[in-house]
Structure 1
């Protein structure tokens, strides 16, 4: 698998999400300010509700823009045994049952699943419990995750 291609997929998805959020904010703003939505009495709240929606969509767009900027600044470095797993690492883990999972560790806010070379890759950040547990680990180490359903053990099989 190619980390540069994965990074490009994340950037494309975030750019698409940002465009959609900005369009949604603009639509809500236009609805809130349209002359037909001026309140005629205290029970006529369509314009007010649309303004709340516009504000929320604008905040969402700003959050996505910040996430996009964080990902644009991500430097993909080769794995180092001395430093262990860090941002930009592509990690393969296995659970007790032998189920394998590919993980791409990056900056915050871009939790998503991607497809590459016939494999599903989960994008996660150090803020996620699994992402936090991976930081600094090396090939062959085990990770213990406390989940609502119990404890899950994962072994780091490979890191790129």
Structure 2
């Protein structure tokens, strides 16, 4: 059985890893953009400009990851509390058609997929259409997906 603390730890670790990678990519792109080799040789040569846009984009991604990580770390104890209904911090097992899927309702990190002991957990946030369908439901609750397919909540931890 999945433990919520393991899910939170795995999400924090995954965001840390992605932050380090984004930070390195941003620094590499910025270094390249200001390198002598990327200096324009003609008015049509935009290699340096493109590298600076890439560096800015990578820096923006790193900033978003740092903010998401900070939110999760700051709310860790609240997120780890048991839940009886779907709300922020809930670890939810759902039946979607013939498949059974796990979701973690987090304040940030939406869209991340974690694999723990062979079980895949998808992180959702309040902005996701699925979260809107699940919010407030308890085990045994039924819902309809945005595409019209039925689903049911099997467990809320």
CA contact (8 A) 2:11 2:109 kept: no
- Please give the alpha-carbon distance, in whole angstroms, between the structure 2 residues aligned to 1:114 and 1:46: 37
Structure 1 position 40, deviation (Å):
2.7
Q: In the alignment, which residue of structure 1 is the partner of 2:156?
A: 159
Structure 1 gap segments, 5+ residues each: none
Instruction: Calculate the aligned-residue CA RMSD, in Å.
Output: 1.4
Structure 2 gap segments, 5+ residues each: none
- Please give the alpha-carbon distance, in whole angstroms, between the structure 1 residues aligned to 2:65 and 2:96: 32
Q: In the alignment, which residue of structure 1 is the partner of 2:83?
A: 79
CA contact (8 A) 1:32 1:51 kept: yes
Q: In the alignment, which residue of structure 2 is the partner of 1:122?
A: 122
- The answer to whether structure 1 residue 20 and structure 2 residue 21 are counterparts is yes
1:2-151 aligned at under 5 Å gives the runs: 2-74=3-75, 75=78, 76-80=80-84, 84-97=85-98, 99-147=99-147, 151=148
- Please give the alpha-carbon distance, in whole angstroms, between the structure 2 residues aligned to 1:64 and 1:129: 22
Deviates most, 10-19 or 69-78: 69-78
Structure 1 position 138, deviation (Å):
1.2
- Number of residue pairs the alignment of both structures matches: 153
List 4+ stretches of structure 1 deviating above 3 A. Answer: none
- Please give the alpha-carbon distance, in whole angstroms, between the structure 2 residues aligned to 1:105 and 1:117: 19
